[in-house]
Structure 1
Amino acid sequence: MKKTLLKGFMVAVLPLLIISCKNSSTTEQENAGEAEGFASPRKVIDNPSPVHLSPEESLKTFRLPKGYHLEVVASEPMIKEPVAIAWDGNAKMYVAQMETYMQDVNATGEQDSISRIMLLEDTNGDGKMDKSSVFINKLRLPRMILCVGKELLVNETNTYTINAYKDTNGDGIADQKRVVYKSDAVDTKNLEHQRSGLDWNIDNWIYVTVDPVRFRYKNGMLQADSLVSGSNGQWGLTHDNYGRLFFSRGGAENAGSGFQINPAYGQLEFADAYDDSTFGAVWPIIKTPDVQGGAKRLRPDSTLNHFTAGNGQSIFRGDRLPKSLQGDYLIDEPVGRIIRRAKVHDKDGKITLTNAYNGEEFISSSDMNFRPTNTYTGPDGCLYIVDMNRGIIQEGEWTKEGSYLRPQIQRLGLDKNKGYGRIYRLVYDGMQPGPKPHMLDEPTSQLVTYLEHPNGWWRDNAQKEIVLRGDQSVVPLLKQIALGEQGPLKEKPSALGQIHALWTLDGLGATDKSVLLKAMDDEDAQVRKAAIWISEPYLRNGDEEVINKLEKMEGDDSYDVRTQLLLSLNYAKGDKAKTIVKNVLAKNPEVEMFAAVERTLEKNEAVKTFGKRLGSLEVADRKRVMDGANIFRSLCASCHGTDGKGLPTKIAPSLVDSGRLAFMGSKDTIINIVLHGLTGPLNGQKYPVDMPPMESNNDEWVASVLSYVRYNLGVPEKYAGMIPPQYQSQILVRPEEVKTVRAATAGRNKPWTMEELKKGGK
């Protein structure tokens, strides 16, 4: 694999100052030897104080490996309740704030549209934000932001619509708003279960979590593309240097998912992608009384024992921290007040995660109000951490009367700690943060040079800006870089530079088949993989020249290349493509990844024909089941798995052939479970968390998800085609049935037990 070192550039006009700056930053990173381990053994603080701390006091509470330190970039009153940040091409920072989130245990006023997005600037280059303005006011819990050129894309809670905001007069306040993606639908899910992301990946698709969709930004608008088998994840989304996406499912206590293949090809998970007993275990430095799962979620020393709210992940791709951190997976656990650092392993094309430390966390705090929600690689090559810095972190669905959390929050006074917020920067001894970019003011030819920058933030944003501009004048230079050819400066581009050049050509609509064919012969496996991936439009059209080239790659020595071969050839027409796939599988019967990819692709194709099974239903019934399928995949699958058979973490039971959900079982029972939740053992099996109540959703929502579950999961596959049409509709749950049960149990404020439900749910 080629090193991602900057070696000069191919444009004769490239300022020597930039070359010298980039080379020195790379050398600085290589020469910084990361100190091993921690300065002292981990010690648990028995009685942490819930009292709110100043930023200066909070800094003293952090435990980090030797050599690392945190700096405060911004804090209250400049910001409050931050959840996400984004930088534009000139390193201006936009901060999304959920200012109505859990202002008390009852979530009073949570839906009020008074949240803001702040615009912050560092005007003197000291790394601290010293200028701020309210960029956008009167928003409802903004949850996703993305800078595109001089505009900011924003999505708010409860809506699928995405708007673009722009400041046209330079006063730091948005004065122009336009719709870039319109949907009149209302998202009725709990706000913790709605989508996040807007991650512009290297493939020029913009990805989100939860919902089965991705976007392409063209002509100033977002064009949606459906993901047949659904998306993944919950709060947080990131990608690595090569476009591999990393999701997580907080509700399922799953700190990493969806990272084996792109969701466009389907859903592929391995039960041993990480060892749940070691990777799933977390190591806070304070007792953790405020955990929704209660005592079963705690160790004997009262510290959190497992991920419960993994979120805000990132792959570190900067150049101003030790090189050993590059490519590591970082994920927050705000309940445990920690940030995990994981090593990402690629063995025979299969990705696995391991904790970088034994019984330790990369970053931990004894500040009870430290609530990390997102991490990012910054323009300066350092790591940034968004901290809501508040007492309550769980949403109101889990703090109701009768819940475990409510008395814990009130006993400690955590409900009074609100309206604060921090953004931290992680730095390292002897390493200086990098310079500030000015991409929005530079010519496109200059942006091309940044495709080789040692900081992944620069590479990503240069590619994005070039694609947004649509400037075809740089196409010849991009082709030269993509082919790895020496330019005027007599330096060969890096593999990362080649990959970004290939994808930038793709984004400009300037992909050249001859360039792709040559790239498929490149010495670097990731360049070859990217070329195959980008060739998919040719495969869809049955291009014989491309397919013949791929035939010669059957025996490529890279597992990643052969995996991409299987994935991309799924789109190809003709018998030759099928033969290539068969040959790869036949020659590698022992490779787990290849067999799993084949099964996933087959399942993805089957999902495309899902509508055939519903053909005999009335239009309204068919729509209800399909709506329920979307709800299930975006919410219920987080705990029960996409196929309803549960997850490797065993967070919740299998629903397949379940007596509680069987198509001939009691509708009242399952309606009661969804409305009010379920606790206690099931068939003698204990589970780490209870089924939460979903009564805040309307009757149609409950009827839809239960209709899908009974029809698609409750009916054994062998009987699926045997049910007469006149009986099929009887399987489904009607909104009026939900309404009746809801009225009969209106006074209930605690989850059911199976014993109660067996007695009729009275």
Structure 2
Amino acid sequence: MKTVQSFIPAMNIPRPVLVSLLGFAAAITLADEATDFPPKPPVKALSPVEEAKTFQLPKGYHLELVLSEPDILEPVCMAFDGNGRLFVAEMRSYMRDIDGSNEIVPTGRVSVHWSSKHNGVYDQHRIFADKLTLPRLLLPLADGVLIGQTDTNDIYFYRDTKGDGVADEKKLVYQGGARGGNLEHQPSGLTWGIDNWIYSAVNNYRLRWKDGQLTKQDIPGNGGQWGGTQDDDGKFWVVNAGSEKGPINYQQHFLYGQFNARHQADVGFEMVWPAMGLRDFQGGPGRSRDDNTLNHFTATCGGEIYRGDQLPAELKGNLFFGEPVGRLVRRAQIEVNDGITILHNPYPQNEFLRSTDPLFRPVDMKTAPDGTLFICDMYRGIIQEGNWTREGSYLRKVINQYGMDKVINHGRIWRLVHDTTKHVPEPKLLSAPPAQLVATLANPNGWYRDTAQKLLVLKQDQSVVPALTTMVQKEKNPLGRIHALWTLEGLGALTPDLVRTALKDASPQVRRAGIRASESLNDPALQPDVAALAKDSDPSVVIQVCLTAKLMKWKDYADFINRAAMTTPSKGVKEIATQALTNSSEFPRELSGTQKEIMNRGQATYQELCFTCHGLDGRGMSAEGMPPGTTLAPPLANARVVLGHRDGLIRALLHGVTGPVGGKTYQGQMISMATNSDEWIADVLSYIRNRFGNSVTFIEAKDVARVRKETQSRTTPWTEEEIAATAPSVLKNRPEWKLTTSENARGLEAIVDGNLKTKWSSEKPLANGMWISVELPSEETINGLRLAFGEHGGYLSRNVRVETSLDGQTWSKPVYNGTAVTNLTEIAFNPTKAKFIKITQTGGGDKRTPWNLHELDVTTPSALTH
């Protein structure tokens, strides 16, 4: 905080930053006034044969049709079971019209498809699970499929006991409870990781299958949005649309936190090169070239690390992801240099796959059992949810201009092949004997390795332990050794000696796996063996040691990591080690246990959603092509508005914000978050107000409920000016107040001088019963106080009681009785008439220090609150 002429006017929802809290690349209503929207010929759906002619690919590559309407409609993700059957999640209620009417209805389904002739032609189609609400999580196990839907964190296990392709049993295996919010910001990409944990995009937890149930473990958020994939090391990869960066947080497995490095992608990597131009994206003219083509990532999704064996070797280990607004698929080459992962677009000013069909919408990709890459094409007009197509939005005008809302009820799945691709037999892993599954762990196709490991762990057959042990020690393929190691972990048969074998392996990839696997044993006797690899010649191994040291909370791990970073010549180790030490999730010790829980929940939401525009450090996220010093959304760190009145921030989240903020138009302006719970909104706002150097009163769910009720008739976003007008006023007559105290009266006037650098002090240790009293010049209707405790914290009040009086003799029942722990504490209560106000200490402070107070203000209700 800085010195201000008047302490509270600075809180009165000032201009510069307001509003875009939690912005997520929302609908920009920047209608270019110079741009007209005359009707255009409506877009028309092409047949699959016609669409295939619109694809542009490098020489030798082709797309083959696998499935299309009417067998599938509105497909969004897919997965294969151990016999190669293809399961497809279909969101049949998604954006049926421009307003997204009646989306949350159970008309979705998961279908299953297979080949009766075992030739790769999917000619058999069944409805595996029906009456689903926008299904989005899909993971086949051994004898059934995990399915999750929209607006719930619950996951069910569906099983087909009759073998007819239709599930006849349904069991709740994870009770996560209801989930609100925009459907684009909910979990997806359910993936069985190489470490036998199940990961998903968005969620800040992972799941473990045991005894027919899923158990949860909290971990850092990953920042993903739609889809998830893993590489050969088991690192989980996600992409994000809101940040306009595509792949995100990919330097290390996000189990250890969110890591990013300087120069981690080519200059211009975020620029896209579509084959056709149609401005159906919220950035409008600002995100397009003169030919109307999209110029930058805006809707990236459905990432997949290609790990198959029937496409040219140049593609292996590359990341593929869709940009459905650009009608293209990006291929990203992955380079690891000095421990830093770097992404390249191998097609300068071009893309791996482009289409001139405006309805080509690639939303998911998967390495297939046949060694190729499958691409899920939602094939439709509108590809963004209703929050971005509201009245007044730029996007709505374009949708109407081209009649895009009329194209629904389609969907295709394509197989990427090459002139060198060969047909391979269909898998039969579900009935394969254990010995065959063990041998499959070294298969050249990553889908086979993953599936064999998953099935072995699910079966829990201990008879394979000797063969797996031998495989860890003698298998020629390093990937086979890694999968054998993790399969033993999943069987509960991993031993310290086998970990030591992996730690001494000739392959740095296996050594890294050994370090990670040691975490599951949590055996202190292994620590010296792992720590010795801090001197490994491979920077990636050294980085993994540092991450494991912090995760496992080794004694003096910070000193250990610092030494590792200081003694290595690797710049990559230094960069990641520094982040490991500074990306702390620890919160100030002053906070109570309940408040720390609030901060943990708020941080999870922030790291899932808000950071994409506001940055992990709260200083705003920039995107390539933006002018220096500009960000997608206003910064939150030390922002005066964040320190402002809680109700303004609550209004911004409940209804969104439109128009300029502080004279600037940000691409990442706020959309409504009203579908989230009161607690969700309170948690994330409390986190923002007490992170990034901020320290302000926590917001409670009851505050959100109150504002929600007051503004329930509101149907449009707020402008900055409207929100400013709703802020409570502050009494301007502070120089006329009469101040008294039970303690040292010297310097008491400092609490009303408008200078945060001056303060009053009790000059003796804080104790219960200490009080400060204010006599106002005249009777006022008041509804709150603001107490400031200095810009660096410390010596704060902890718990206070507030009473009011009209005569200074008869006091009301307490209008407030609670905590006052943050540097700036807002105390809100129902409007009451008062001439006298008494603030009394009620305990909980550090009794070795005095009661210090820097500033005090009294608020009155605003004339405009709806």
Shared fold, TM over 0.5: yes
1:191 to 163, 183, 186: 183
1:448 to 425, 430, 438: 438
The match for 2:524 is 542
The match for 2:90 is 97
Q: CA deviation at 1:513?
A: 1.8
> One-letter code of the match for 1:60?
K
The match for 1:273 is 264
* 1:486-565 matched pairs, under 5 angstroms: 493-538=476-521, 540-543=522-525, 546-565=526-545
Q: Is the 8 A contact 1:95 1:118 kept in 2?
A: yes
1:614 aligns with 2:591: yes
The match for 1:12 is none
Q: Equivalent residue of 1:252, what SS?
A: coil
The match for 1:206 is 198
Give per-residue Cα distances to partners, 1:674-731, cap 9 Å, x unaligned: 2333345544555334322334445554344333322435xx35xx4xx8xxxx4589
Q: Is the 8 A contact 2:566 2:574 kept in 1?
A: no
Give per-residue Cα distances to partners, 1:339-386, cap 9 Å, x unaligned: 000111111111111112100011011111111110110000000000
Runs of 4+, deviation exceeding 6 Å: 576-579, 730-733
Separation in 2, partners of 1:573, 1:71: 51
Q: CA deviation at 1:498?
A: 0.8
Report the CA distance shift for 1:577/1:335 in structure 2 as closer, same or farther (over 3 A).
closer
Aligned length: 682
The match for 1:13 is none
> One-letter code of the match for 2:591?
L
Q: Is the 8 A contact 2:558 2:581 kept in 1?
A: no
Report the CA distance shift for 1:234/1:729 in structure 2 as closer, same or farther (over 3 A).
closer
Q: CA deviation at 1:757?
A: 4.6
Q: Is the 8 A contact 1:401 1:749 kept in 2?
A: no
Q: CA deviation at 1:751?
A: 5.3
Q: Is the 8 A contact 2:151 2:178 kept in 1?
A: yes
The match for 1:157 is 150
* 1:112-511 matched pairs, under 5 angstroms: 112-183=105-176, 185-227=177-219, 229-275=220-266, 278-483=268-473, 485=474, 493-511=476-494
Q: CA deviation at 1:531?
A: 1.0
Separation in 2, partners of 1:730, 1:115: 37
The match for 1:43 is none
> One-letter code of the match for 1:373?
V
2:636 to 645, 655, 660: 655
Separation in 1, partners of 2:542, 2:699: 47
Give per-residue Cα distances to partners, 1:550-569, cap 9 Å, x unaligned: 34423211111111111122
Report the CA distance shift for 1:167/1:681 in structure 2 as closer, same or farther (over 3 A).
same
Separation in 1, partners of 2:212, 2:391: 47
Give per-residue Cα distances to partners, 1:10-45, cap 9 Å, x unaligned: xxxxxxxxxxxxxxxxxxxxxxxxxxxxxxxxxxxx
Give per-residue Cα distances to partners, 1:90-147, cap 9 Å, x unaligned: 0011111100000001111101111111010122234331010111110111101101
Separation in 1, partners of 2:236, 2:424: 26
The match for 1:631 is 605
Give per-residue Cα distances to partners, 1:47-67, cap 9 Å, x unaligned: 997110111111001111100
Report the CA distance shift for 1:700/1:181 in structure 2 as closer, same or farther (over 3 A).
closer
Q: Equivalent residue of 2:209, what SS?
A: strand
Q: Is the 8 A contact 1:382 1:433 kept in 2?
A: no
Cα RMSD (Å) = 2.4
Q: Is the 8 A contact 1:232 1:257 kept in 2?
A: yes
Gaps of 5+ in 1: 1-46, 486-491
Separation in 1, partners of 2:553, 2:118: 55
The match for 2:47 is 54
> One-letter code of the match for 2:416?
L
The match for 2:837 is none
Separation in 1, partners of 2:682, 2:174: 28
Separation in 2, partners of 1:271, 1:737: 44
The structure carrying a bigger helix percent of its residues is 1
Give per-residue Cα distances to partners, 1:279-300, cap 9 Å, x unaligned: 1111111112211222211112
> One-letter code of the match for 1:278?
G
Report the CA distance shift for 1:686/1:279 in structure 2 as closer, same or farther (over 3 A).
farther
Q: CA deviation at 1:646?
A: 2.3
Q: CA deviation at 1:638?
A: 2.6
Report the CA distance shift for 1:364/1:613 in structure 2 as closer, same or farther (over 3 A).
farther
Report the CA distance shift for 1:376/1:303 in structure 2 as closer, same or farther (over 3 A).
same
TM-score w.r.t. length of structure 2: 0.75
Separation in 2, partners of 1:362, 1:95: 24
> One-letter code of the match for 1:242?
D
* 1:664-679 matched pairs, under 5 angstroms: 665-679=644-658
Separation in 2, partners of 1:399, 1:613: 44
Report the CA distance shift for 1:740/1:181 in structure 2 as closer, same or farther (over 3 A).
closer
The match for 1:84 is 77
Report the CA distance shift for 1:427/1:740 in structure 2 as closer, same or farther (over 3 A).
same
The match for 2:711 is 742
Q: Is the 8 A contact 2:686 2:698 kept in 1?
A: no
Q: CA deviation at 1:601?
A: 4.4
Gaps of 5+ in 2: 1-39, 624-630, 728-863
> One-letter code of the match for 2:171?
R
Q: Equivalent residue of 1:361, what SS?
A: coil
Separation in 2, partners of 1:271, 1:692: 30
Separation in 2, partners of 1:528, 1:627: 35
Q: Is the 8 A contact 2:682 2:699 kept in 1?
A: no
Separation in 1, partners of 2:274, 2:230: 26
Q: Is the 8 A contact 2:327 2:358 kept in 1?
A: yes
> One-letter code of the match for 1:353?
L
Separation in 2, partners of 1:636, 1:381: 37
The match for 1:6 is none
Q: Equivalent residue of 1:660, what SS?
A: coil
Q: Equivalent residue of 2:485, what SS?
A: helix
Q: Equivalent residue of 1:224, what SS?
A: strand
The match for 2:669 is 690
The structure carrying a bigger strand percent of its residues is 2
Separation in 2, partners of 1:349, 1:282: 27
Report the CA distance shift for 1:439/1:703 in structure 2 as closer, same or farther (over 3 A).
same
Q: Equivalent residue of 1:269, what SS?
A: coil
1:710 to 684, 689, 692: 689
> One-letter code of the match for 2:612?
S
Q: Equivalent residue of 2:125, what SS?
A: strand
Report the CA distance shift for 1:729/1:550 in structure 2 as closer, same or farther (over 3 A).
closer
Q: Is the 8 A contact 1:253 1:651 kept in 2?
A: no
Specify the structure having the higher radius of gyration (Cα): 2
Q: CA deviation at 1:232?
A: 2.5
2:577 to 583, 588, 597: 597
* 1:719-738 matched pairs, under 5 angstroms: 720=695, 728=697, 734-738=703-707
Separation in 2, partners of 1:365, 1:481: 45
